[in-house]
Amino acid sequence: MAARAVAGRACAHNRAKFPSVISIIIPTFNEARYLPGTLKAIERNQTRHEVIVVDAGSFDGTIEIALEQGAQLISSSVRQRAIQMNLGAQSARGDVFLFLHADTRLPQNALVEIEFALVKRSVVGGGFVRRYESPSWFLRGTCALAGIRTRLTGWFLGDQAIFLRAEVFKTLGGFRDLSLFEDLDFSRRMRREGPVVTLRPPVISSPRRFSACHPWRRTWLDLLLTLRYLGGADPNRLAAEYCHEFENMQRAERVGVAANQVISS
């Protein structure tokens, strides 16, 4: 009991030293379906924080939801996550920045876990293990592989709730003006600044990006684009190709579904 009390006082002392406020920055565009759940999950965390929603012209009620939940609202004239997140960071007053997708929910006590992780001054930031809100074994497998990637490389994607010290964000110059892989580019640069950590429990992310076509098709496309990016291809050019290829995949998926319906009838 005495040893546990001493350990508890030591943890409390360390927590008192850092940090004061965590700034949670959420880029949005027509996220009325997912934003309420994301904001409610944040509310379950008692650690001092602020929520900054950077909206790029939503017309589905996203703005009203953000204001009703007490978030600080910033308008962006450009619909691009990198630009929106940088805008949010400019207004943030926290010691730590947490960049959160509007369709990704934080686990309870996530902010406390961030606090304790950053008590160690050498740690510059990190992210969370990710799980999709889906029973699909295939998607569970992709999350497992992503976990291995994170442990081996220290690289995080945007739906893993990337966080870091505000001072490190400023040193990095924020997110680069990229339409694709802005998250991977950022986390790779963050990793070069010092040690990063991967936290649990996992964040829960929507599997909506896999809904327009079969998950393996989308995953295969993502893998090919990632390999090209790591090989030195221009991310903005890849973004244009991504949109084209994704439209082709959606078209092929619709044709397949229609053909099956004709056969079954």
pLDDT category of residue 10 using cuts at 50, 70 and 90: very low
Domain that holds residue 234: 215-264
Residues 72 and 150 in one domain: yes
Residue 173 maps to which CATH number?
3.90.550.10
115: pLDDT strictly greater than 70: yes
Q: What is the pLDDT of residue 210?
A: 83
Tell me what the mean pLDDT of segment 159-164 comes to: 97
Q: pTM for this one?
A: 0.84
The CA distances from residue 18 to 44, 92, 120, 121, 172, in Å, are 20, 17, 10, 10, 21
pLDDT at site 239: 84
* Number of compact structural domains in the chain: 2
Same-domain pairing of 163 and 247: no
Same domain, 164 and 47: yes
Beta strand spans in the chain (E): 22-28, 49-55, 72-75, 96-99, 104-105, 125-132, 162-165, 196-205
CA distance 256 to 251: 9
Which of 162, 188, 207 corresponds to the end of one domain? Answer: 207
Q: Do 197 and 223 belong to one domain?
A: no
pLDDT of residue 126: 97
CA pair distance 122, 196, nearest whole angstrom: 9
User: Which residues lie below 8 Å from residue 243, measured CB to CB, with a gap of 6+?
Assistant: none
Q: Which residues pair with 196 in a beta bridge?
A: 125
